[in-house]
Amino acid sequence: MLPVFLVASAALLVNAQNPSDPSSLSCLTESKGVHVPGTVPCNPYEPLQQHLAFAGPNGMTVSWSTHAQLDTPQVWYGETPYSLTNVATGSSTTYPTSRVYDNHVKITGLKPDTKYWYRTSYQNCAGCAYRPTDTFTTARAAGDDTPFTIAVVVDLGLMGADGLSTAVGPFGGAANPLGPNDLNTIQSLLENKDTYEFVAHFGDIAYADYFIKESWQGYFGNDSLIPNVTSVVEGYNSLLEQYYDQMTPLTSSKAYMVGVGNHEANCDNGGTTDSVHNITYTTSICIPGQTNFTGYINHFRMPSDESGGNGNFWYSFDYGLAHFIAVDTETDLPVGLQSPDEYGGTDAGANSGPFGYPNEQFDWLENDLASVDRKKTPWVIVGLHRPWYIATKASNACLACQKAFEPLMVKYGVDLYMQGHIHAYERNKPMSNYTVDPAGLNNPQYPWNIVNGAGGHYDGLDTLTAPPSYVDVSFDTAYGWSRLTFHNRTHLTHEFVSSANGTVLDSATLYKEHKFSNGQGNGNGSN
C-alpha cells in the first residue's frame, strides 16, 4: 500500500519528474498495477479517465484520455467477456495546454438495455496499471415500462488531498470539511453503484479552476502561495485529471451524462482575490486552452447528434418511461436576456460563447419538448445548472434563466427540473413564477423543482437563509446526491442521499396522472 503522504503529494511531485524514467513515481506505482490519480503515466498510451455516454438506444460512446495521440482509437466489444469480436474506431484530439488527448469511439448498432463487455486500445499495456475488462449497459428503449433508478449530482469536485478533504488551507477552505469517518460523494456513489443505472451531472465538474484559490489559501503548502501562468497551467490540468481518474471506477461502467456549469468556463473561478497578499486574479492568467469551456467541449461527447442539440451544451435522450433534457444556463440564453458567462455577464471575465446562433437553444428546447411522445415517455425531466428559486441572497437567483426556460417547461408539462450552483439542498414545491401549485405533489400542473448542489468540493457548503414558503425541505450541512426512482407511468420518488453514511435525509414521491391528448399536453388531466 502506498504511504498516505506519497499519494497526497503525487500530483505535485510528478510534474518535477520524467514519467518515462523507471524510477519516477508513475512508473514505480504502475509497475505494481496502480495509477495515482492526476499523475502522468509511465506509458503515455495508457488509457485513463474512462467514461461513457448514451448515443441513442442503440449506441454508446466510449471515451478515455491518453498522454500521447492514438492514430486510431479502438474499442473491442461483445455480449460475452469471452468473445470481444466486434471493433469500433474513433478519433483522438487535444487542445492547447492540455496534457492529454481525448479519445472518443461511438459504437452503434447495439441492442437496447443490453450488457456488453469492452476493452480500449492499449488496455493493460506494458508499464500500465492493471484494468479488468469493462462493461456497459445500453439505454432502455423508449416506452420500456420497467422501473428504474438514476443518480443525479451537481457541483461535484475533486475529492482527497487536492480537493475536498478533512483539512482546509490555513488561509481558508471548506465551510464544512469532511468528518474523519465520512465517505465523500464519489465514494458514496461508488458504494451505491448497483442501486442506479446511470449518473447525470448537471454542471460544475471537477473544480479545476480552484487551483488559484487553493494556492493562495495555502492548501498546497507555503511554497505555492502565489501562482503564475506556468503553475496554473500545470495545476489546473492536474486537478482536472485527478477528478476524472477518481471517477473512472464509476464512469467506465455507468453512462455519465453531463451538463454545463460556470466552473467549466475557465481557469480562474470567475475571478479570485487573494486577501492574504492583496492580489486580484482575472482570466488574464488563463491561456486560451483554459477558457471558453474548452476542456469541457473536448472531454465529453453527449448525444447531441442523436437529438439535434449542440455539442455538450444542450441535448436530450430517452430512457424507458422518461425523456431527459440537458440545457445550458451559462451561455446562449434567448436574445434580450444576459447570459451569465457571456460578455457582460455576472461571472466577471468569462466572456464565453455563444455556441449557437441567436435563439438556437430556445428554439431547440421548444421543438424538443413539443416532439416528445408522452405515451411512450410520460416523464419529462430537465437538468440545468443555475436555479431561480433558492433560499439565499437574491443575486444567486438566475432570473434570466427563469425567463428563458420556465414558461416552456410549464407550457409543455415538464414534471421535474433539477439544478445546483448553490452548494446546499432545497426541495421546493411545484410552482410557476412564484405561484405554488395547490395540488402539491398530487398531480400538480406546474413543474417540481429540486436544487441539489451539495455534491461537495473544496469550498464546502453554502449557508441558506430562512426558507420561503415555497420550500418544503432544505439542508445546508450535509453533502449528498439525488436518487430518482421511476416506479411506473404515474409515480416518481426523489431521495436525498447523505454521502457521509448513505442514509436518506429526505424522500418525496410525485404523482402525475399523465393523461395526454394525442401524446401531448401537460398531463395533469386538465387538457
Question: Would you say residue 82 has pLDDT above 90?
Answer: yes
Question: Would you say residue 73 has pLDDT above 70?
Answer: yes
Question: Would you say residue 400 has pLDDT above 50?
Answer: yes
Question: Would you say residue 105 has pLDDT above 70?
Answer: yes
pLDDT of residue 26: 66
First to last CA, the chain: 63
Mean pLDDT of 135-158: 97
Measuring CA to CA, how many Å separate 521 from each of 199, 206, 305, 445, 513? 28, 38, 26, 11, 12
Question: Would you say residue 320 has pLDDT above 70?
Answer: yes
**Rg (alpha carbons) of the chain, rounded to whole number:** 22
User: When comparing pLDDT for 513 and 3, which is higher?
Assistant: 513
pLDDT of residue 221: 80
Mean pLDDT of 276-294: 90
d(CA 247, CA 243): 6
Lowest mean pLDDT among 8-12, 381-385, 470-474, 483-487: 8-12
pLDDT of residue 34: 84
Mean pLDDT score across all residues of the chain: 90
pLDDT of residue 16: 35
Q: Give residue 321's pLDDT band: very low, low, confident or very high (50, 70, 90).
A: very high
User: When comparing pLDDT for 160 and 376, which is higher?
Assistant: 376
Assign 3-state DSSP to the chain and report helix, strand, coil percentages, each to 5: 20, 25, 55
Q: List, for residues 117-142, the tens digit of each pLDDT value.
A: 999 999 998 888 888 999 999 999 99
Q: Which three cell numbers stand for residue 291?
A: 477558457
User: When comparing pLDDT for 220 and 330, which is higher?
Assistant: 330
Strands, E assignment, 4-100: 48-54, 60-66, 74-78, 86-89, 91-93
Please give the backbone phi and psi of residue 76, each rounded to the nearest 5 degrees, phi first.
-100, 135
CB atoms within 10 A of CB 521: 16
Q: Is 231 helix (H, G, I), strand (E, B) or coil?
A: helix
Q: Give residue 349's pLDDT band: very low, low, confident or very high (50, 70, 90).
A: low
Question: Would you say residue 522 has pLDDT above 80?
Answer: no
User: When comparing pLDDT for 167 and 279, which is higher?
Assistant: 279
Q: Which residues contact 56 (CB under 8 A, 6 or more apart)?
A: 139, 303, 306, 317
Cβ burial of 130 (10 Å; 0-12, 13-18, 19+) is exposed
Q: Give residue 23's pLDDT band: very low, low, confident or very high (50, 70, 90).
A: low
Q: Give the whole-number percent of the chain exceeding pLDDT 70.
A: 92
pLDDT of residue 25: 64
User: When comparing pLDDT for 344 and 369, which is higher?
Assistant: 369
Cβ atoms of 25 and 34 closer than 8 Å: no
pLDDT of residue 174: 79
Q: List, for residues 187-218, the tens digit of each pLDDT value.
A: 999 999 999 999 999 999 999 999 999 999 88
Q: List, for residues 36-66, the tens digit of each pLDDT value.
A: 888 899 899 999 999 999 999 999 999 999 9
pLDDT of residue 347: 78
pTM of the model: 0.93
Mean pLDDT of 13-30: 56
pLDDT of residue 10: 34
Question: Would you say residue 526 has pLDDT above 70?
Answer: no
Q: Give residue 5's pLDDT band: very low, low, confident or very high (50, 70, 90).
A: very low
Mean pLDDT of 398-402: 96
Question: Would you say residue 114 has pLDDT above 90?
Answer: yes
Lowest mean pLDDT among 158-162, 455-459, 520-524: 520-524
User: When comparing pLDDT for 265 and 169, which is higher?
Assistant: 265
pLDDT of residue 187: 96
